[in-house]
């Protein structure tokens, strides 16, 4: 994508000149996939024209049902995502996938393997699949994900599946912007313990043990059950076993997701989560703006490195330099 | 640890009252492990007295050789760490381990399994092992890790092994504060591909394929070699195969680490990295201070959630409220 933007005479660039922020919003509303792709690139880049376009959209994220998927590498997130696309398309709901990769080097680019696994939906006009990278800014991704959800909802997508690569804290935060968060583990290899270590289980609304045709499945389910029993939250995450490649267990996963969706509405939790999401989004945007102004001058870094200034003293100087 | 602090009459609390920041620094210098543990808790908590103590220490992190270890869950980081402790203790170097977990729920607490794997060193007074959590602040950990390194160096530790749990971006950032970063993968299961996805390989100075008695070892080595061949950096990360549980390959790992350490000095890269680390540390501290002031009021979040305010407008209001 970066390469396409760099070529001065590409179609996209020529088009850019004629796109006002107003008609870009209109075209997204009208369901133009190229306008949608362009607006999502603007979200990813933190484009300076973005605020004006978002204002035109005035789309509450409420329009869509957002489901997050996270879990260890190799747990089968893309296969489960692909199965869920099939289910929601069967209900005639327009479905979007946002595959978020909180690392810079692969930003914007789709992951080959994942694309392959979702290929069966590639020609369905009711499905939109998009990878999004952080472009090196963790704070940026925390702001970009809710904005991308906002844009996809405005474009008419009724279900948005947010899939994250990796199992760290940043990935959990991204997945947690969803209404319902699915955490996937695979049997054996201490995977469930590792997920607990990474704090991933606490974010789960539904737990999935995928590749449940493997020998250690029951032990993993037992481990998870023991951990869930310790939870003090009002919603106890159900544990579902799946073999996503064959579709086994996907119906039960969807049943549990529907049950959670109903619970969110009944309990008032849905509004609470969306309020929290709005707060996080605003904080991340404000934070990103501040980060742009907080650059440590070379000589100040050198003084900290040689020990003549403590890092705290240097931080105070830096804050004072922007009037804080 | 949190529990200990909460009990009003515990030994530690009584002692706190008599500890001036000055004598705490003195005691850390003198090698008092309790003073060291207490100062590291202050680092972890972002204690308000910390700047004064750090100022007393005036310890350039240059005093220690810092080695970061990261990799997929189950790759054997703790076992490799334990083997490295043995090697550096054999050279009569005081060695510290900082096991960093960038997630809140397990902050401060050691991970049971990891402790067990390092137990053989538990009674060696030349070894100090400490877990550190983020206490829910990602930015906080980016600042806390270099500070903890600073404190451990002041306490006389000559080698500091920084091990991270998880494979996300935050974990890579933590591991990258080291002079040399070791990335571990295990054969098969697409582990090396997954590491590449998570951007972990780019941070590697030495690549380790651990559990190299497994069948897919050579395929994984080939994958990694192909990826390393694409690197344009001056240092090409060597690929070492180990079976850390039996000690196989650990000598070669150490040889490569020593080679990298020599290269760092010869190339000037060591100074560049330490300058970058100082810059990151100052930025993270300044950033943490700003974050404390950027709180979105409830009614502003509600306006964003109901669509009457865009997130960008709300962020501008928030920044204006603190004079930015």
* Residues of B in Cβ contact (< 8 Å) with A289: 315, 319, 324
In this predicted complex, what is the ipTM?
0.77
Question: Which chain A residue has its CA at the smallest distance from B55's CA?
Answer: A310
Across the interface, whether the CB atoms of A103 and B199 are under 8 A apart is answered yes
Which pLDDT score is estimated for B20? 67
Question: For residue A256, what pLDDT is reported?
Answer: 98
Is the model's pLDDT at B3 over the cut of 60?
A: no
Percent of chain B, pLDDT > 70? 76
The residue with greater pLDDT, B203 or B91, is B91
The Cα–Cα gap between B168 and B160 comes to 22
Q: Which residues of B touch A278 (CB under 8 A)?
A: 296, 301-302, 304-305, 311, 314
B106-B3-A273 Cα angle (round to 5): 50
Identify the pLDDT of residue A57: 81
For residue range B263-289, what is the model confidence (pLDDT) as tens digits?
999 999 999 988 988 888 898 888 888
Q: pLDDT tens digits for B5-58?
A: 333 333 444 444 455 676 888 899 888 888 998 898 888 887 888 888 888 886
Would you call A324 and B319 a contact, using CB atoms and an 8 Å cutoff? no
pLDDT tens sequence across B133-192 = 765 444 466 678 888 998 999 899 999 999 886 656 666 777 678 999 998 888 875 656
Interface test with B, best of A70, A71, A148, A199 (most B CBs within 10 A): A199
User: Cβ–Cβ of B290/A294 closer than 8 Å?
Assistant: yes
pLDDT at B191 (0 to 100) = 59
B111 pLDDT above the threshold of 80? no
Q: Are the C-beta atoms of A286 and B294 separated by less than 8 Å? A: yes
Give dist(CA B43, CA A99) in Å, integer. 35
Which among B60, B198, B282 has the least Cβ separation from residue A296?
B282
Residues of B in contact with A324 (CB under 8 A): 289-290, 293, 322-324
> Can you list the residues of chain A whose pLDDT is less than 50?
1-17, 104-114, 136-139
Handedness of CA A180, A181, A185, A190 (dihedral sign): negative
Sequence-ordered list of residues with C-beta below 8 angstroms from that of A120, at least 6 positions apart, any chain? A82, A86
pLDDT bin (cut points 50, 70, 90) of residue B291 is: confident
Q: Which of A193, A194, A282 lies nearest to residue B304, judging by beta carbons?
A: A282
Q: For A294, which of B51, B283, B312 is closest by C-beta distance?
A: B283
A74–B73 C-beta distance less than 8 A = no
pLDDT-derived band at B257, boundaries 50, 70, 90: very high
Q: Write out chain B residues lying below 8 Å of A301, CB-based.
A: 275-276, 278-279, 282
Q: Which of A157-171, B75-89, B231-245, B308-322 has the lowest mean pLDDT?
A: A157-171
Query: Between A and B, how many CB-CB pairs are < 8 A?
Result: 243
Nearest-CB residue to B102 (from A169, A295, A304): A169
Domains, chain A = 20-57 (no CATH), 61-267 (3.40.50.300), 275-321 (no CATH)
Output the 3-class SS for chain B: CHHHHHCCCCHHHHHHHHCCHHHHHHHHHCCCHHHHHHHHHHHHHCCCCHHHHHHHHCCCHHHCEEEEEEECCCCCHHHHHHHHHHHHHHCCCCEEEEEEECCCCCCCCCCHHHHHHCHHHCCCCCEEEEEEECCCCHHHHHHHHHHHHHHHHHCCCCEEEEEECCCCHHHHHHHCCCCEEEEEECCCCCHHHHHHHCCCHHHCCEEEECCCCCCCHHHHHHHHHHHHHCCCCCCCCCEEECECCCCECHHHHHHHHHHHHHHHHHHCHHHHHHHHHHHHHHHHHHHHHHHHHCCCCHHHHHHHHCCCCCHHHHHHHHHHHCCC
* pLDDT reading at B4 higher than 80: no
B103: left (phi over 0), alpha (psi -120 to 50) or beta: beta
């Amino acid at each position: 994508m970066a390469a396409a933007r760099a070529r001065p005479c590409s179609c996209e660039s020529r088009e850019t000149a004629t796109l006002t922020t107003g008609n870009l919003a209109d075209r997204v509303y009208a369901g133009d996939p190229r306008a949608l792709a362009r607006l999502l690139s603007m979200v990813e880049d933190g484009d300076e024209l973005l605020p004006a376009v978002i204002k035109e959209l005035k789309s509450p994220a409420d329009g869509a049902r957002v489901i997050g998927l996270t879990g260890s590498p190799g747990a089968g997130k893309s296969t489960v995502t692909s199965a869920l696309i099939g289910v929601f398309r069967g209900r005639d709901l327009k479905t979007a996938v946002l595959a978020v990769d909180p690392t810079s080097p692969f930003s914007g680019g789709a992951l080959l393997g994942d694309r392959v696994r979702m290929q069966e939906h590639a020609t369905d006009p009711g499905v939109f699949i998009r990878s999004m990278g952080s472009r090196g800014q963790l704070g940026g991704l925390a702001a970009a994900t809710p904005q991308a959800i906002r844009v996809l909802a405005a474009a008419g997508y009724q279900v948005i599946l947010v899939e994250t690569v990796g199992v760290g804290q940043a990935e959990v935060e991204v997945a947690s912007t969803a209404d319902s968060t699915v955490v996937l583990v695979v049997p054996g290899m201490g995977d469930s313990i590792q997920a607990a270590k990474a704090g991933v289980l606490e974010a789960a609304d539904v737990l999935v043990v995928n590749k449940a045709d493997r020998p250690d499945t029951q032990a993993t389910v037992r481990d998870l059950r023991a951990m869930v029993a310790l939870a003090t939250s009002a919603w106890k995450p159900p544990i579902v076993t799946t073999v996503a490649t064959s579709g086994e267990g996907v119906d039960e996963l969807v049943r549990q997701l529907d049950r959670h969706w109903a619970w969110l509405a009944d309990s008032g939790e849905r509004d609470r989560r969306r309020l929290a999401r709005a707060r996080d989004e605003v904080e991340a945007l404000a934070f990103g703006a501040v980060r742009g102004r907080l650059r440590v001058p070379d000589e100040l870094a050198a003084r900290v490195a040689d020990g003549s200034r403590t890092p705290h003293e240097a931080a105070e100087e830096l804050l004072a330099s922007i009037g804080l």
